[in-house]
Structure 1
Amino acid sequence: MSAAAKVSVWRQPAQVWAVAFACVIAFMGIGLVDPILPAIAESLQASPVETELLFTSYLVVTGLAMLFTSWISSRIGTKATLLIGLGLIVVFALLCALSGSVDAVIGFRAGWGLGNALFISTALATIVGAASGGSSAAIILYEAALGLGIAIGPLLGGILGEISWRGPFFGVVALMAIGFVAVLVLVRSSGEQRTPVALSAPFKALGRPALAVLAIAALFYNIGFFVLLAFSPFPLGFGAMGIGLTFFGWGVALAVTSVWVAPLLLRSLSRSTAMLIVLPLLALDLVVAGLVVATPAALVTCIIVGGLFLGLMNTILTESVMEATDLPRSVASSAYSAVRFLGGAAAPPIAAALWHAAGASVPFYFAAASVVISAAVILFGRPALARIDAHEADAPEEAAAILIGDAA
């Protein structure tokens, strides 16, 4: 076992935990509006397509801003970038809570997306740089924060959404303010070495074959992810609490596989092989969801099973991007995430439009087809991915050893 593996993934410096906590809150924002989508549509007299634009405005701005976050953070510093991002989220979440029209909420969600981009892209690089146990431990922590945030977001949204559709937004304001204080107090900025990154760096990074393959695959994969997350609340027909509980189960499933199952899977499979197994299974789950869409209990089962596959893919993709090139991790993460989030931005309104044009099953079939395209991109682009499979026998085993060996 390597020296890195002997360090517990849960024994980290205070600044890592501060950023990880803020990550949990940031990722809560993704699923927080899920349980209140029908309530927003009813209260603000908005169509489902307009309501789904709450995701689109957020994700489009997040994706586009990702292209510039490494340039910004390399000049003003990691801590300043994190704090600006968190501050923007607090401000725009508050404005969402105080809004009186769906157009205003859509616009303020776009501002929220800007803060999200500044924070998330910098947070991953911060955790990777400061965590004990090497990059594998850092990625596990990051994915744990992602899974926990995605699980808690819908549950909190459901609880507060039963009071008012504005409640979840006020909840984010309070929690993000705590995250802001934690980062302000615990994250060190002294001694930070800044190497200015060119504005063109993320664009040039996408010219690297390995990163381009992973980004395109992630774009189509994210369509499947966000159809499941953003569209499913409508055909379910549940109230805010029912939707919240459903996606709490989905988020828990995602967290379990991303943190514990993915490292075990990668002990025996290369990253590209694992993706070529998981993606078709996810596509099959989405097809079944389309077939059983009229049966709420069956659809809930498909949503939660989908969370299992999404957790695996999130970890495998994140590890792959970190290992795909010799580029600075902040640049690789920014370039990849920009393309990935744009796929997620397109999915919700397309799904809602397909629903009204052809029925509730069709969005799930559309999502399944997108996931199949993602698998095809990995399959045909596999020659460019040799680097991510080059040390399949050490990084995954190290990650698994960090998790499993803590008790030894």
Structure 2
Amino acid sequence: MESESNLAGGRQKGASLLSQPKAVWAVAFACVISFMGLGLVDPILPAIAKQLHATDSQVSLLFTSYNLVTGIAMLITGFISSRLGVKWTLLTGMVLIIAFAALGGSSSTVGQIVGYRAGWGLGNALFIATALSAIVGFSTSGTAKAIILYEAALGLGISVGPLLGGELGSISWKGPFFGVSVLMLLGFIFITFVLPSTPKPKKKVSLADPIKALSYPALLTLAVVAFLYNYGFFTLMAFSPYVMHLDEHGLGYVFFGWGIMLAFTSVFVAPRLQRRFSLVKLISWMLTLFALDLGVMALGAVNGSSTTVIISVIVAGIFLGINNTLITTAVMQSAPVERSTASASYSFVRFLGGGLSPWLGGMLSKPAAFTVGALVVLLGVAVLIIRRKHLANINMDGH
């Protein structure tokens, strides 16, 4: 992606992770706030079900509508960003998140929240796809370090979000929705004044480009693995709050611990491991351990052991953090297309997995949902191993 890589005015291979232009920090700050939105909602799922007289499966559709629309909308993000430019695409996505998060907080039924979460997902798609390519494009320290910074923002947002969500949720389940809206408004102001305007790309991305990009075997392999892995990821997110038997504060602290593990391993552990082991071996191990962890959650749910589930959720952050950095870095190197197009293609497929799991899992008992999630993640390991030859030429040093 030459047009994007030149945004930073050239790369410095030896540059420090923290030695970044203001534009990178502006987008990273907005990413923290954006990802807080995911964690803010988790501690209030049982409260929503109780106060709005809804079933657990109905509430789980908050994740389904959000992920489904996010995934499908990824197909148009490149088309839009190549015409609006990076800054205006980011701002458009943020406006949608601000509006639909506030509307979610003003809802009186689960059906309304599910619908507004779909609109939130559209804004999320525009923001996420553009933010990742923008950080990589503006960075002067190379792709690998830029993605570590992106994953750090993700981890920080996911870890801090539940704490704030637990505090606001203890007042009212509406609080976290309004909290996301206000925080994203702050991010909008920050991006408006700090992120420089950039010229629109000379090459316009067509609506078909993200689908065409999946014809590259390496990108397709990673996307399918991410689809299956995300099934397990959102099984954890959607159903673990119900079997921990904690209030909003308690759930907030548990997911804070999970997010801290995710952030720490993304930034400090994953880079060290990827220098020592092969990509396929590392991802296979992380996904296998995550699948086993989901299996332990299933046992904890069967035995009614809240402690088992709590510990398993926090430990899952270790495997998820390492895997997130590895697979995102690999995607950026997996196909000779614009990074934004590769990100959109990959995210289109993986978010569909995140939309499917809360819907299907809602039809099962909680132990069965965790068990199926574990089996689907293991299927991802099988796909990775079978198609490993397609990943042999991926350059993971990011330079």
Q: Could you tell me the TM-score, scaled by structure 1's length? A: 0.93
Please give the root-mean-square deviation of Cα atoms over the aligned residues, in Å: 1.3
Pairing of 1:132-211 with structure 2 (within 5 A): 132-211=140-219
| Deviation for aligned residue 1:18 | 1.1
> Which residue in the other structure is 1:374 paired with?
380
Q: Secondary structure at the match of 2:333?
A: helix
CA pair 6-208 structure 1, distance change in 2 beyond 3 A? closer
Where structure 1 has 5 or more consecutive residues not aligned to the other structure, the ranges are: 399-408
> Which residue in the other structure is 1:406 paired with?
none
Moved more, 309-318 or 12-21: 12-21
Q: Secondary structure at the match of 2:363?
A: helix
Where structure 2 has 5 or more consecutive residues not aligned to the other structure, the ranges are: 1-10
Q: Secondary structure at the match of 2:393?
A: helix
- Contact 2:85/2:198, CA 8 A, preserved across alignment: no
> Which residue in the other structure is 2:253 paired with?
245
| Deviation for aligned residue 1:191 | 3.9
> Which residue in the other structure is 2:313 paired with?
303
> Which residue in the other structure is 2:292 paired with?
284
> Which residue in the other structure is 1:54 paired with?
62
Pairing of 1:91-102 with structure 2 (within 5 A): 91-102=99-110
Q: Secondary structure at the match of 1:292?
A: helix
> Which residue in the other structure is 1:402 paired with?
none
Q: Tell me how far apart the structure 1 counterparts of residues 241 and 13 of structure 2 sit (CA, whole Å).
A: 41
> Which residue in the other structure is 2:345 paired with?
335
> Which residue in the other structure is 1:318 paired with?
328
- Contact 1:52/1:352, CA 8 A, preserved across alignment: yes
Q: Tell me how far apart the structure 1 counterparts of residues 389 and 140 of structure 2 sit (CA, whole Å).
A: 33
Q: Secondary structure at the match of 2:114?
A: helix
| Deviation for aligned residue 1:303 | 0.6
- Contact 1:5/1:133, CA 8 A, preserved across alignment: yes
**How many pairs align?**
387
Q: Tell me how far apart the structure 1 counterparts of residues 342 and 175 of structure 2 sit (CA, whole Å).
A: 36
> Which residue in the other structure is 1:403 paired with?
none
> Which residue in the other structure is 1:41 paired with?
49
Q: Tell me how far apart the structure 1 counterparts of residues 286 and 48 of structure 2 sit (CA, whole Å).
A: 34
Task: Select 1:362's aligned residue among 364, 368, 375.
Answer: 368
CA pair 307-190 structure 1, distance change in 2 beyond 3 A? closer
| Deviation for aligned residue 1:190 | 4.0
- Contact 2:227/2:349, CA 8 A, preserved across alignment: yes
Q: Tell me how far apart the structure 1 counterparts of residues 73 and 199 of structure 2 sit (CA, whole Å).
A: 27
- Cα deviation 1:203-247 (Å, max 9, x = unaligned): 101111111111111000001111111110011111111111111
CA pair 292-190 structure 1, distance change in 2 beyond 3 A? closer
| Deviation for aligned residue 1:166 | 0.5
Q: Could you tell me the TM-score, scaled by structure 2's length? A: 0.95
| Deviation for aligned residue 1:349 | 2.5
Runs of 4+ aligned residues of structure 1 deviating over 2 Å after TM superposition are 3-6, 190-194
- Contact 1:9/1:132, CA 8 A, preserved across alignment: no
- Contact 1:77/1:194, CA 8 A, preserved across alignment: no
